[in-house]
Structure 1
Amino acid sequence: MEAAPDALPWEGSNSEPSPAIRAVKDITFGSIAGMVSKVFEHPFDLTKVRLQSQVLDSTARFNGPIDCLFRTWRDEGVRGLYRGLPAPIVGAMVENASLFLSYSELQNIIRWVNAQPLSQDLSLPQLALAGAGAGTVTSFLLTPVELVKCKMQVQMLVPESSPNPRLLPGPISVFMSVLRSTGFRGLWLGQTGTLIRETGGSAAWFTCKEFVGMHLIRRRAKASGLSPSEITRKDILPWESAVSGACAGAVFNFSMFPADSVKSAMQTEEELRPREKGVPRPTFLGTARAMYKAQGLRGLYAGCGITVARSIPSSAIIFLIFDGLSRRFA
């Protein structure tokens, strides 16, 4: 009697949940992990964007991340540290749900193309390919959200802005303003930067997490006298998820930071360095050249230190929650 063929990526199996259930889990767990991490990291993300947005200014507003955090808290209070939070909360849900869902489905497609069982772990190059594809998909969903977030995070830096935060436009008003002034296409201002950051960064993020995680799992298995064939990536413990996730967060943010800097500068130019009517919109390469000319590599890495520092616990939280929920509701 012939063996039954392996299931296609979109088909269920006796040992695996159906594609619909798997997708719902990836979306739900990714959204929860993203929301929790974003609440923790938002003040540091706001600091990063404000430091990135001043690279092309003739006079810097802040002397560094600590100065930016302190002055934001002093001048705007706790509410100022969380300015623009609704947009990144939505963005975190979209980003992580899309990343984990796309990553999972692309892994299954890679297995199908290579005639591998659905339960088989992929090699690191295959995981990197799945991660890059997931980042590419996510970038198109994320750019409009980040555009609104960045514009809100520099509202108090605009000279004409009201000193009363309650009179500043909210995320819906900012979104509609962009739509009215630049049209639907304008929502994707900075897409090139987001695409580079998410594609390369997600490949590094997932690959680093899987590499470090499997190293920790195998080390624990060896200490327990188990064979490597007896363990899989699903056997990861909470602390191993956190450690591998922390390493992944640092690698992601440091490796792709210049692309993110250029994107932030492009998305805040209208507020901080408005151009005369009729002047063409900034391009990714044009903005990158201007930033490099202004401050060299230091300008392209403005805010990198605090970003990498906050990404370590933030990414640890994401994978701790995602892996924990995946084990609990397997």
Structure 2
Amino acid sequence: MSTEEKHHTINNQNSAFKDILNGSIAGACGKFIEYPFDTVKVRLQTQGSKMFPTTWSCIKYTYTNEGILRGFFQGIASPLFGASLENATLFVAYNQTSKYLNKTTQVSELSNIIISGAVAGSFASFVLTPVELIKCKLQVANLENKIPGAVQQTTKIIPTLMNVLKTNGVTGLWQGQSSTFIRESFGGVAWFATYELVKSKLKERHPLDKDNKTWELLVSGASAGLAFNASIFPADTVKSIMQTEHTTIKKAITKIITRYGFKGFYRGLGITLIRAVPANATVFYTYETLSTLEN
């Protein structure tokens, strides 16, 4: 290996390490902001409309009966760790794929973004599925424990994890992988493409400046979050049912249609879009800021 090739390899490794570190921090910050909203979303997706006819009824019930920490933040440790892994995977996979395509192909900038986003989302789905499985089970555990005669569910991470392993084995941790893969692959395209395109469009307003302004990064991140969640929400609903009830993708889809009709695929969308704005604005802004500090 030549000296130039060695320097190139080292630079790539340093770049990947920075993406992992910055993505991890950004992901954890975004997840902490969005988690209470996510709890409400999962409960709306998995519980009957008789229990929670509206988003507000779910929020009111959770606060009144379980409080803030035990209710809205139940099981947050797992997704905090997962968000760090997910965003580290997303950013390193996206940037490394983009660099590879620029080096070896003649694809357009938009094609590069689309391909890199799809690859990043695909990789992230394998990291995300086990984390979301535990998260979803914990988010509905308090509700299931109130059902008369029901087997009491644990509300702790480690016992929940051990129960999944005991009942379904290691592969049980990837229950819902097919739906998560679909969600993240298409979602990765929507997420990165929206962010890059909005950021680029806003930058055109002041071409002489080197970087985007703070508010432009926040708007771009918020737009990316809205595009991601709006485009893949039906797959997310199916995934939540698969993971909380340990069922197949076909049975989950059938259950949603039977229980709510096609509108059931979008149950909880409103609260999800609300959470997407601050959470994704925070993720991208934090990532960009940390990356700038290291340059």
TM-score (norm 2): 0.92
**Could you tell me which amino acid in structure 1 is paired with residue 139 of structure 2?**
Q
Q: SS in structure 1 opposite 2:67? A: helix
Find out whether 1:62 has 2:52 as its counterpart. yes
Please state whether the residue corresponding to 1:18 is helix, strand or coil: helix
**AA partner of residue 101 (structure 1):** V
Give 1:38 shift: 1.0
Aligned position for 1:243: 219
User: Cα deviations across residues 177-218 of structure 1 (Å, max 9, x unaligned)?
Assistant: 100100011111001111011100011100000000000001
The one of 99, 104, 107 equivalent to 1:108 is: 99
Task: Calculate percent identity across the aligned residue pairs.
Answer: 40
Matched, 1:291 2:256: yes
Q: Which structure has the greater CA radius of gyration?
A: 1
Contact (CA 8 Å) 1:144, 1:187: kept in 2 or not?
yes
- Give the distance between the partners of 1:320 and 1:60, measured in 2 at CA: 40
Gaps of 5+ in 1: 1-6, 117-121, 271-281
* One-letter amino acid of the counterpart of residue 143, structure 1: T
Residue 33 of structure 1 aligns to a residue whose secondary structure is helix
For 1:158, give the aligned amino acid: E
Flag the 1:128–1:115 CA change in 2: closer, same or farther, 3 A: closer
Q: Which amino acid aligns with 1:69?
A: I
Q: Would you say the 8 A contact 2:154–2:160 is kept in 1?
A: no
Q: Measure how far apart 1:328 and its partner are.
A: 1.0
Partner residue in 1 for 2:18: 25
Q: CA RMSD in A?
A: 2.2
Shift of the alpha carbon at 1:297? Answer: 2.2
TM-superposition CA deviations, 1:57-110 (whole Å, max 9, x none) = 4x6311222211121111111111100100110111011000001001101111
Residues of 1 paired with 2:10 and 2:276: CA distance?
32
Select the residue among 28, 34, 48 that pairs with 2:27: 34
User: Within the alignment, does 1:179 sit opposite 2:155 as a pair?
Assistant: no
Q: Is the 8 A contact 1:95 1:138 kept in 2?
A: yes
CA–CA separation in structure 1 for the residues paired with 2:106 and 2:52? 55
Identify the match of residue 75 of structure 2 among 84, 87, 98: 84
AA aligned opposite 1:300: F
C-alpha distance in structure 2 between counterparts of 1:65 and 1:109, whole Å: 44
3-state DSSP of counterpart to 2:267: coil
Residue type of the alignment partner of 1:68? C
Q: 1:31 is aligned with what amino acid?
A: S
1:197-208 mapped onto 2 (5 Å cutoff): 197-208=183-194
Distance 1:239 1:125 in 2: 27
Between structures 1 and 2, the one with greater helix share: 2
| Counterpart check, 1:253 vs 2:229 | yes
Instruction: Give the conservation status (yes or no) of the 8 Å contact 1:155–1:161.
Output: no
**Where does structure 2 lack aligned partners over 5 or more consecutive residues?**
none
1:137 shift after superposition: 0.5
Shift of 1:161: 7.3
- Contact kept, 8 Å, 2:75 with 2:155, in 1: the verdict is no
Q: CA deviation at 1:148?
A: 0.2
Change (3 A) 1:199 1:265: same
Amino acid in structure 2 at the alignment position of 1:214: S
Letter of the 2:240 counterpart = S
How many residues get paired?
288
CA contact (8 A) 2:142 2:155 kept: no
- Confirm whether residue 323 of structure 1 aligns to residue 288 of structure 2: yes
> Could you tell me which residue of structure 1 aligns to residue 121 of structure 2?
135
CA contact (8 A) 2:218 2:285 kept: yes
Structure 1 ranges of 4+ moved more than 6 A: none
The one-letter amino acid of 2:214's match is P
> Partner of 2:62 in structure 1?
72
